[in-house]
Amino acid sequence: MPRVKRGTKRRANRAKTLQRASGYFLTKSKLHRAAQEAVERALKFAYKGRKLKKREFRSLWIVRIGASARNHGMSYSKFMHGLKLAGIDLDRKVLAQTATADASQFALIAARAKAALDTAAAK
């Protein structure tokens, strides 16, 4: 079997790691081993952050919808239940955007949700 020295591949790999670590403090941006550890750690946090971002945005949307629903005399849970009964199938992102950007449109949605709750309670 021929001997493989990995010269260019190894150099390219190390250059890529050091490029990713540029801007890190002291040896973490200069030495390969320290840079590799720092980059791996950063990538781990980046992966975790992408998952947390979704969770935090959903939480933010719920807060915004809840605040607007309270302005129309309903709690968040009653509002969402009313939407389901009314057959309005909007996700939380769209509802939150409507609540912040277009209050009159949200008022119409809230009125329909409240009406659906009232008809369900009357039955």
The structural domains of the chain, with segments of one domain joined by +, span 7-122
Interior angle at CA 46, CA 40 and CA 51, nearest 5: 135
Residues 6+ apart with CB under 8 A from 27: 34, 35
Distance CA 32, CA 15 (A): 9
Residue 105 pLDDT: 96
Distance CA 73, CA 110 (A): 9
Distance CA 75, CA 43 (A): 40
The residue type of 111 is A
Task: Provide the percentage of residues in the chain whose pLDDT is more than 70.
Answer: 100
The class (CATH top level) of 7-122 is mainly alpha
Q: Averaged in consecutive runs of 10 residues, what is the pLDDT profile of the chain (123 residues)? A: 84 96 97 98 98 98 98 96 96 97 96 95 85
> Is 60 within 8 Å of 76 (Cβ atoms)?
no
Closest CA to 104 of 80, 68, 63: 68
